[in-house]
Amino acid sequence: MTPFNMMPFDWFAVAPALPEVFLACAAMGLLIVGVFSRGEVASRSVGGLALVSLVVTYVIMHAAKVADFQQAFPKGAVGFMFVADEFAFYAKGLILAAGVFSILLTPDFMNRNSINKFEYYVLITLATLGMMIMVSANDLLAMYVGMELMSFCLYILAAFWRDNLKSSEAGLKYFVLGSLASGLMLYGMSLLYGMTGDTSFDGIGILLGNGLPNIEHSVAITVALVLMIVAMAFKVSAVPFHMWTPDVYEGAPTPVTVFMATAPKAAAMLLMMRVLYQPLLALEDQWMQMLTVLSLLTMGIGSLLAIVQTNIKRLLAYSSIGNVGFMLVGVVAGTEDGVQGVLVYLAIYLTMTIGLFAVLLSLRRKNVFVETIDDLAGLARTAPGAAFAMMLITFSLAGVPPLVGFFGKFYVFSAAIAAGQTWLAISGVLFSVIAAYYCLRIVKVMYFDEGKFRPELNQPSNAQWIAVLAAAGVLVMSVFIDVLDHTAGRAASSLFRLEHTVARH
């Protein structure tokens, strides 16, 4: 008998991933509930249960954190591929919140276009699970499967309105380009594995840091780095890998766009930070150059092209690209403060994005949802509340000081200045001035323009109170910014847990 035959499976080893295990079981349960109930009831009950499971997942996550499963079961079947640190905890909080709000924003739109099928909620749940796995990954394999689980759900969701030409086109385009990015990611990973012989983040970090002499100067490692950064830049839609974003955001059903603009973007950004700061930290000199260029391009193209958009979903797509550019400034800073800034920025960005879409989803014009910016003309007179909420959020997006959007940019740029990237921060400020233009244009159209048909409020729906909540959040969060900052600070410091011997500066 070799010891190979006698390897008992330790079920407690799964404990650190308990929230994920629960969510996976819940998703399968939802599927069964949906299959055994009919029509309208199916989508309503599955939607409600999906909400409950996301909330319960958060509760379990909190309990697991308090009980400190990660310490209790450090290396098990799951433990070595999976890390449940403060960073992952913060990340999953953002992802679950984005999932909850996307689900709440869904039913009205889906019912009006008669595409309210229960599978939607199952897919949202599974995508959320994929993202949670992504941000908790401590191994190339776990990271890849998590990313694919998320992406597959998103491809299907983008094409969910299958009788709509634009939606089908969005789904197909996203699928083809996403597969390409995933292929690049795999090439990069296999090169990295080939050079280091390890797939775990800890192992790669140590081997690149000081395990293998001079490995960081090998061409294969640089190629691997480039391929992986390209794939991750695609996922966060950084320029020049952003081409899919406006088309997919415009074509996908609006609730799906809300989801895609929030949770996956945050997950990809967080994953990018973990990959860059943990396994690839030794290659900092190389990725910093690449990300500096990416960040400049992303801020520039995102802000400039948003100005010429007429469709509001395309505008928000370019706006989200621009925001990614600002976040990348924080990543380039390469310090704990930079990461902290990005984490705060992400929370603020999610609030603003959900708020903007909630306002859009609570309006209609001639009985269809508003599509273009000119559709908003005259909103201030028909629905002053909605216009005011929209104004607050767009001002925050532009970075007007008392509102919370200002703090996101402030933290990111000041971290960049502290890290000696002054000129990057200055160009960031310049681009955010350009970005302010399109934000103010929305306000101008709402308050001063007059259209043939004015937009009106829908019947009371979730979208309205979420819009109010987001607008209030934009106001109130700046008062409690210290709390957010503190939480983000703890998350950021847990990212720097590896004692790398690479000397910086």
Partner 1 sequence: MLAFADLVFYMFAAMLLGSAMGVIFAKNPMHCVLLLILTFFNAAGLFILLGAEFIGLLLVMVYVGAIAVMFLFVLMTIDIDFAVLKEGFASYLPSGLIVGAVLMAELVIAGQAGLFSGARISTLTAMPAPDGVENIRALGQVLFTHYLFPFQVAALILLVAMIGAIVLTHRRREGVRRQNVMAQIARTREDSLSIVKVKPGQGI
CB of residue 26 to partner 1, shortest distance in Å: 12
Terminal Cα-to-Cα distance of the chain (whole angstroms): 54
Count of residues for the chain? 505
Of 223 and 417, nearer to partner 1 (C-beta) is 223
| Binding to partner 1 in span 73-92, by CB under 8 A | 77-78, 81-82
Q: What are phi and psi of 366, to 5 degrees?
A: 50, 40
Cβ atoms within 10 Å, residue 259: 31
Of 160 and 407, nearer to partner 1 (C-beta) is 160
H helices of 213-335, where?
219-236, 244-251, 254-277, 284-307, 312-333
Beta bridge partners of 369: 364
Of 143 and 297, nearer to partner 1 (C-beta) is 143
CB of residue 232 to partner 1, shortest distance in Å: 19
CB of 259 closer than 8 Å to CB of 102:
yes
Candidate list 42, 46, 97, 129; residue touching partner 1; CB under 8 A: 129
- d(C-alpha 103, C-alpha 105), whole Å: 5
Residue with tokens 């070595």: 80
**Which helix (H) or strand (E) element contains residue 456?**
strand 456-457
**Number of residues in contact with partner 1 under rule CB under 8 A:** 41
The conformational region for residue 183 under phi > 0 = left, psi -120 to 50 = alpha, else beta, is: alpha
CB of residue 162 to partner 1, shortest distance in Å: 6
Residue 126 binds to partner 1 (criterion: CB under 8 A): yes
- d(C-alpha 319, C-alpha 398), whole Å: 10
410 CB-near residues (< 8 Å, 6+ apart): none
CB of residue 194 to partner 1, shortest distance in Å: 9
**Which helix (H) or strand (E) element contains residue 457?**
strand 456-457
- d(C-alpha 251, C-alpha 158), whole Å: 7
| Binding to partner 1 in span 136-175, by CB under 8 A | 139, 141-142, 144-146, 148-149, 152-153, 155-156, 159-160, 162, 171
Of 10 and 285, nearer to partner 1 (C-beta) is 10
User: Could you give the string, one character per residue 179-198, with x where binding to partner 1 holds by CB under 8 A and - elsewhere?
Assistant: ------------------x-
| Binding to partner 1 in span 106-125, by CB under 8 A | 117, 119, 122-123
Beta bridge partners of 56: none
Residue 228 binds to partner 1 (criterion: CB under 8 A): no
| Binding to partner 1 in span 5-64, by CB under 8 A | 5, 7, 9, 14, 17, 24, 27-28, 31
Site residues (vs partner 1, CB under 8 A): 2-5, 7, 9, 14, 17, 24, 27-28, 31, 77-78, 81-82, 117, 119, 122-123, 126, 129-130, 133, 139, 141-142, 144-146, 148-149, 152-153, 155-156, 159-160, 162, 171, 197
